[in-house]
Amino acid sequence: MTTADTTIGGGLTARLAHFYRRSEGARGLVLLTPTMLIMLAALAAPLALLALYSFWTQDGYVLDKTPTLAQYATGIGRATYRELFYRSVEISAVVTLITVLLAYPMAYFVAFRAEKKFIWLILLTIPFWTSYLLRVFTWKLILGYNGVINSGLMSLGIIHQPLELLLYNPTAVVVTLAHAWAAFAILPIYVSLEKIDRSLLEAAADLGDGPIRRFFRITLPLSMPGVIGAAVLIFVPTTGDYITPSLVGGSGGVMIANVIEEQFDKVGNWPLGAALAIASIAAVGIVTLLFVAAMRAAAARIR
């Protein structure tokens, strides 16, 4: 009997092992499983719950679970919320544009001109070794009423009274976010520039292109994956950022995430907060897809 058991057990193990070795899919699944479990528990489940809540109604202290689109009607219909959606996307788009434009030359320098690339990459990422919150506070210190810029300008005698327009406005949000996310733009652009075969640039020069044409016909289109990656990497999280606008944005710099947070916290209207959150995800998704498609089309037109 023992012999029989061993045979059956051994046979099953052997069959499983055989299946595991033969099937690419099975091996992939095993590698994915730990991450998948975490993602399911920590991301997919809350997101599903959020979607569920967005179809319910908060009636005082009672949660009415009759499915309705009322929250979406309020979220998109009310001018205040619509205004906030537009402003969030606008601020985020400006942040993305500025960050990518400033990051590109830096990445270009490290990829093409720098001799000690590793040191440059370390230097560029050092600010990002501290927490995001600390970096935002640093900008408060720089832009604040008694901040570095104001006291500097005053000690130089250029101004006699601290400037109040530096902090608590959308510009402060843009400046802070652009700095906070710079490394996320530099690194993907650097990687895509680094991958460009230098003989392609020589070939372009050989075929009659000067440095500027070479850049626009070879370097830029070949680094486009890095640029698109950087832009998406910045645009998606900054649209939903609420730390920076709440710390340096003031009333004029409020973004959609601040209102969502309010609905879940102070106001206690979870269904409306959920609907706003889902709508915000959809908005970011649509804008990102349009952006990626537009950039791809533009890159394909370069000859």
* Residues found near another protein in the complex (CB under 8 A): 197, 199-200, 202-210, 213, 217-218, 221-222, 299, 302-303
For residues 292 and 300, what is the distance between their CA atoms, to the nearest angstrom?
A: 12
What is the DSSP-derived secondary structure letter of residue 78? Answer: S
Q: SS3 for 57? A: strand
Judged by CB, which is closer to another protein: 221, or 249? 221
> Which residue, 192 or 263, has its beta carbon nearer to another protein?
192
Helix H, strand E, coil C: the string for 141-170 is HHHCCCCHHHHHHHHCCCCCCCCCCCCCCH
Closest separation in Å from C-beta 207 to another protein: 4
Q: How far is the CB of 204 from another protein (least distance, A)?
A: 7
- Cβ closer to another protein: 154 or 295? 295
Of the pair 82, 213, the CB lying nearest another protein is at: 213
By C-beta, is 63 or 203 nearer to another protein?
Answer: 203
**Shortest Å distance, C-beta 218 to another protein:** 7
First to last CA, the chain: 76
Least CB distance from residue 240 to another protein, whole Å? 33
Burial class (CB in 10 A: 0-12, 13-18, 19+), 15: exposed
Minimum separation from the CB atom of position 113 to another protein (A):
17
Element of type H or E holding 19? helix 2-22
Q: Which residues contact 1 (CB under 8 A, 6 or more apart)?
A: none
